[in-house]
Structure 1
């Protein structure tokens, strides 16, 4: 076989030039025995595509050197040639950093919204309600206690605080209905606000009634008082305070300078409206104000309509007055020291007022008794 080996492909001829004469002769013989072979494909590989596929499968390989540049030992030409590949490798890293920054920003935004929402919820007042037919006892943040009669709502700031961990200047509650308070002594005043009055205390026990139609008629203690007009032009806003022990100050809601002091057990005062002056202290029988605390029922010189409203709340029933009933504002007094049933009270009330009652789908209706009964 000649050294030119014309039957060999060019790529083998170049390879044989590096061999000794004996090696070229042997390789040529092997080629002839094989009968020739097609030259391998010489399609140039794409290193960038190969690197992208590799880094996609193994992200940990896509690491930028600590100094941010290619190795200083490589020839400049190779660094220049590798620059596009380096930028290609760095592109996913930059995208990853942008995604991380976006996630951090979103996390901060969500945390801010959660914090703002939590603070808003914290600022919402606490509301405790005793629905009709039920009574409840509320333990207040300072250790005081409020016993709520049926159909009563009590509202106050969470923890008696202006902001988390910041105490408010006073311990204030808003009352709609009737409640008996046992207030713990403290450095901050305890204030009860109703639609018409403010009651300021330190440490004491007392009953507050702020019901619609709560104003007592004039001359209510006289036996001949039948249909006198109520003192208040707005009886729905009347508030009545009865002291059991301690000391309280009672004032009109919008005229705090008009105030009276109750310091004797059994003393009572009424505020007929938000602009009205409180009545001077007067002696009262606490048993009427506190009968509900023991499950009883009482009304002292109250209009018939007000008494029926109290019975509706107490027994969660609907009571209606027929058009035949007159003198609905005439004062009524009742006292039951123990828990009565509704029909017992209605029977006694109708007997005293010459009325009858009949059941309805949701309660009872009162109507005038026939003449000559």
Structure 2
């Protein structure tokens, strides 16, 4: 490549200075430790990759066909020293990588409570962690602050240097909660709860988004995460409370319907039991919660008496609400027993119109009833005895 072409590419390199490598320059201690793990692991692997690539070029150049001065040993086949280098160096690197991965897996476990705020700062025990409930909806994010009684859509904030405890779930399909400046991504699944413990160390506004494809509006599942000082966070909470409105069951059922590119929304109050209902997939009044169903199963079931009151959990919730075509809810009407072979009599269970035996086309009805196997063999035995 000529010097002129190289000079022409310099402006493109200068344009890269506007890129924000947030993963390599995070704002939280957990993300910083994850960055260090990535960098150290990459450097360790380069200790093998770089020499191999360099020696490949060196050997290709030194032992090229035109270089007749290079030493030629066609009968060479073994070197103990070379074998030790070839096997010991990668083995040591693999041991180091394994140790780093094992320690990082446990120290950076998202379910593990924080042991520090920063590398040089311990946790202030006088400050209670900030509790945030996260719900992945189609296609937006709902954040509930149970300690403050507020809720927001696509707007998240936390005080600097205060531990944050996230409880994460989803409304319909599996999703992924990811704030690169704060910590790694955590999956959100309906009917299940995942957790994330993190902290933000630097004030600022950072991007959060969904890192798992979840449908047509996936690309619009973005939100802002604000790291604020204590006064700024108090002002943010006051702003949410001043928005008024209450987020309860009815409002949530409207909110969770699929929508794209939702603007920021706030509620000054929220049902204190809403997150539990969302997690247990029983926001609809009268629907059995998942936790209740599991409690019944743990005790061996609810018996015949309660079966007709059981409505199975439905993951295809929109089909059940009539927004799209789908099956109707199914109830257990009764149980067949020897005393009641037809089960409980209900409007859905009707007696047969004709109790006569069915006969196939062209087949004659048998004139004799079939003998039982026991009587047949007993009869044969009596004849043989006589």
Structures share a fold, TM > 0.5? no
TM-score by length of 1: 0.28
Bigger fraction of residues in strand: 1
Structure showing greater relative contact order (alpha-carbon pairs closer than 8 Å, 6 or more residues apart): 2
| Structure label with greater radius of gyration | 1
